[in-house]
Chains A and B, each alone.
Chain A
């Protein structure tokens, strides 16, 4: 039976759950009870019920931003395979589209933030653009290394080639790619040690500061888009770390689902044990990630 439709569906439904898992993990380490696991869903539902308020200085760009962002993430979700299943959309070279969609989402957020005319949001936009520009080489180089390693420029095929053999006699370039992608994952999703989603200090904020002017359904779109992004990058990472092991498609998808949830727990642990890096150190983290990915790529080119 073909399970192609299952991973995107799971993503659409379960993406907000990841935030809940992260928060519960952090609460566990802090000795608190923590918010409900489904808090993100409650938030989304509440926001959707509200009406939106728009500043009079904004234009259509501002209104379009969340829609484009969500649409980009939604499309990207169709490109990522999971648990050995081919993704709904797959063709040769789809990795480039994948990166492009992530960039498009970021562009929409940035341009909308600039549209408000607020210097505060402009600062956030500038930071996002700066870190994005540094995270992109790391992402591209990682994917290039992966493509080079597996010989396929199609995400589904590329991840499908991987097997447990790669981890039994541990392959250096895959390890490097994994570490680089983990860094990209943390940066793109604005998690500690790069950005702290919980603070509202202007010195440290990156992503949150750009979306302050949104309310109601628009804000719900943004939150949902961010959750999808985490799901997408997470399942990509898990696709490398956990190749399809069993012959049963359902079992494979189940394993990958567990993997993604495990990744959320890992992020929670990282956030619990690490402090946020100083802003000035973040570029170094990204350059290191790029360096690792580049090394992996060179190992493959050899």
Chain B
């Protein structure tokens, strides 16, 4: 079934690319998304058999991230239907600078989205470090054309930065993989990078090579995850990609990179090198939250605002993992929550962008009057992402903070509280001014894009609220199992 999870989107992607017909392509996109989500849901009831001699198998962290990815992709696919239906075929006027440009062919867009899904599934299911690397690199390659969907100079610049920075990062991660192989080699003649093999005898790993491997993978996958100071591609790519792609990048791609770090962290923890890893994660995490806070405070562009918020949240994940204990659960739970809420916010940002024709915060006023549904959800999303109860991010942030104080990281905890307050103020200033007030009269009638662009974000908000009001037992069990696998709880 794991193979089916990967092959379904791949085959659909090939079909989309080969077969003609706009209608058929869109049906295939949604069909693949629904099929993928269905199979993922099935995996909760019946744990799928490992495939390819144990190279592919879903453990607790894998299943967790697969579920998030699949759910978010389903929402994004539905939203994309509404989005593509109103995206003109010929020349498009740039919303900001007013020049004409063309979109990439829809076939390319949809098949890249599907390949993106397939590669992310590969990442979540991979038990082999080499395969994991291949998956993560594949996500970069599949998403680069998505960022360049609107073919103009800004998106091109963003694509180039994304490609180059992430490729370099990923190349370093590959070296990390080889170092890991070097750490294995002294004990056994042949280096197996299968996680299960490595975990059987973690004490035999050479500590020097293992540490070097961890550092390289942290840098490599950390670049992809957007940890400061390696985050520079992230705001550009997120702000220039179509909003539906931004949602996937922020909600699913960053998680996949996080999973890459989790895997090597798991191994280092088992080999008794956890303390060094935690220190490194903690440092990068605090820097990320601080950078996020600084750039959120003075931000004038709402898509970049969301992007920096992603940097901040990725920092929180790193901190949660870094302090360990209950923080590990907090980090995993927060990864889920962040994906839901940030995905929703980016989808809403797309709606706002179409109506107001700008990404700047200042001209957007009276969102609640002009777009009641989008406006209300935007406010809810703001409250959720800044960690206001009763939305679920509150609880995950709370867990991470609690773990900070429990484990004696007082300084980190206090600093975190301060930075979160700053971020709250920065986000509030932007989001409240956008939703309140009276919209300026606009001669151009706002395009009506139908319920497909509102329902997916509303559903994501609903899930975030649901997880906040009463987290289901199954999810608690999964989070617990994942944290145990990572060595967070003993």
**Direct A–B touching in the complex (beta carbon < 8 Å)?**
no
